[in-house]
Amino acid sequence: MSDTLLSFEESLAAYDPAMGLEVHVELNTATKMFCGCPTEFGAEPNTQVCPTCLGLPGAMPVVNAKAVESAMRIGLALNCEIAEWCRFARKNYFYPDMPKNFQTSQYDEPIAFDGWMDVEVDGETFRVEIERAHMEEDTGKSLHVGGATGRIHGADYSLVDYNRAGIPLIEIVTRPIMGTREQAPQIAKAYVAQLRELIVALGVSDARMDQGSIRADVNLSLAPVGTGALGTRTETKNVNSLRSVERAVRYEMQRHAAILSGGGSILQETRHWHEDTGVTTSGREKSDAEDYRYFPEPDLVPVAPSREWVDELRGTLPENPTQKRARLQAVWGFSDLEMRDTIGAGAFGLVEETIAAGAAPQAARKWWLSEMARRANDSGVEIADLGVSPAQVAAVQALVDAGSINDKLARQVFDGLLAGEGTPEEIVAARGLAIVSDEGALSTAVDNAIAASPDVADKIRDGKHAAAGALIGVVMKEMRGQADAARVRELILEKLA
């Protein structure tokens, strides 16, 4: 059962895409949203639970002040208004990963609203308007047992761990993003990437998409080109990598276009994104399930942040990302093109951290945009998810700077890092990668190379220094790459002077 797709170009020729992005950010507070249970990732099942987050009768929730503070800081960083007064609401539905049978959320009174974020794509700025950012709680985690696939369908029963139930979530919702045309997939990805960067700078979340601490839902609809109308949308859930955000938008544009151009109509529904196959499949129809019977949460009193508190938090915001980029570009001495490539590759934060860890700006940029980008591309992952940290890249570059290894050997060190063989120093030692600084061994290798190619040696003696390249190659090969090529050249010229 596969969907019929129109090509991306055909989709654009007939239709304008409109997107809406909902991003859930799991906060890194020490405790849950409404109870004092800890929030450690990876704890043993059901060891971070209490009567409140298990929804036991009589348990009463109390709001985590730090979570409210983080929510407001996110809102302020997104240029939002902060509500003078707002309430929590119950969103009622039945699902076993939510033991209370309602999710405590916010409905028509979000803590933050009416903001925007400027997103940079290919050196151009696109303003994404933020409708709201509201507070809510995460659900438990289900394990589907039985059946062949381990997925929901075909499972015999499910096992639920409530450690995650009640962890604070901030849901950030954009207004419809229109007029993006062929840039729609890129803008969606850039928005989530930049939002993630902002969250990292605010320090309010682990911001790990691979661990689900940032999750994106992609709403997409198409309308006949030039009409400015909004078509029927689908909501693709749990798109959990930056690359998938881009791919999911592209896929839905092509799928919708095929249906609409064939005279069909789009079913308003939830779609599931499949990371492995890069397709979406039908979930449930939205109409009935959207009847959540929201009502104000009677167990929690309203949140009414004083303007003094809001101003105080405003003072804690990190530097505006656009200004920060301009400032660092000047400090690093990057050209506009280098800067654009760095941002486009999703490597800005990585380069920044690598430089902060001691690497020279151009060296940091070079490693991330060539070696790491190539490896990420080969493995089909985002550069940030490759498994090499900025500190490690800086450590490898430090070994190059110290003359212990050269760029070519450094690549083998990265192989070792990805294979989990230890620190860069340990890998150099274990794999025997250090450049041979033993002049005796080097000198012997040079003598051997000269003796093996007397004609080349004669040319060099005659002043044709360019011919030295052939001998350098022979020496480097004999030294298994572990020599400083510049020093080899010096030795050859000295000996044949």
Partner 1 sequence: MPEITRDEVAHLANLARIDLSDAELDHIAPQLSVILESVASISGVAGDDVAPTSHALPLTNVFRADVPVPCLSAEEALAGAPASEQQRFMVPRILGDEQ
- Binding region for partner 1 (CB under 8 A): 29-31, 36-38, 44-51, 54, 56, 62-68, 85, 87, 92-98, 103, 139, 142-146, 152, 155-162, 237, 270, 272, 283-284, 291, 293, 295-298, 300-305
**Which SS3 state, helix, strand or coil, does residue 31 take?**
strand
At its nearest, how many Å lie between partner 1 and the CB of residue 1? 17
Cα→Cα distances 43→28, 29, 49, 349, 456, Å: 15, 15, 11, 29, 67
Nearest to partner 1 of 289, 430 (CB atom): 289
Nearest to partner 1 of 173, 418 (CB atom): 173
**Which SS3 state, helix, strand or coil, does residue 261 take?**
helix
At its nearest, how many Å lie between partner 1 and the CB of residue 285? 10
- For residues 5 and 161, the answer to whether their CB atoms sit within 8 Å is no
Nearest to partner 1 of 168, 390 (CB atom): 168
Taken as a whole, the chain contains a residue count of: 497
Nearest to partner 1 of 36, 358 (CB atom): 36
Q: Which residues contact 63 (CB under 8 A, 6 or more apart)?
A: 33, 34, 88, 300, 303
At its nearest, how many Å lie between partner 1 and the CB of residue 266? 18
At its nearest, how many Å lie between partner 1 and the CB of residue 304? 4
Nearest to partner 1 of 87, 256 (CB atom): 87
Give the pair of three-digit tokens for residue 322. Answer: 């656009």
Nearest to partner 1 of 40, 182 (CB atom): 40
How many C-beta neighbours within 10 Å does residue 490 have? 13
At its nearest, how many Å lie between partner 1 and the CB of residue 411? 42
At its nearest, how many Å lie between partner 1 and the CB of residue 483? 56
- Cα-Cα end-to-end distance for the chain: 74
Q: Which residues contact 116 (CB under 8 A, 6 or more apart)?
A: 78, 79, 127, 128, 129, 130
357: nearest Cα among 403, 318, 406, 395 = 395
At its nearest, how many Å lie between partner 1 and the CB of residue 62? 4
188: nearest Cα among 137, 147, 247, 234 = 247
25: nearest Cα among 185, 193, 215, 183 = 215
Nearest to partner 1 of 90, 243 (CB atom): 90
Nearest to partner 1 of 302, 358 (CB atom): 302
- For residues 248 and 20, the answer to whether their CB atoms sit within 8 Å is no
- For residues 405 and 417, the answer to whether their CB atoms sit within 8 Å is no
At its nearest, how many Å lie between partner 1 and the CB of residue 311? 16
- For residues 117 and 198, the answer to whether their CB atoms sit within 8 Å is yes
Nearest to partner 1 of 286, 431 (CB atom): 286
21: nearest Cα among 279, 268, 236 = 236
At its nearest, how many Å lie between partner 1 and the CB of residue 54? 6
Nearest to partner 1 of 46, 370 (CB atom): 46
442: nearest Cα among 400, 494, 385 = 494
At its nearest, how many Å lie between partner 1 and the CB of residue 206? 15
- For residue 161, the surrounding DSSP H or E stretch is strand 157-161
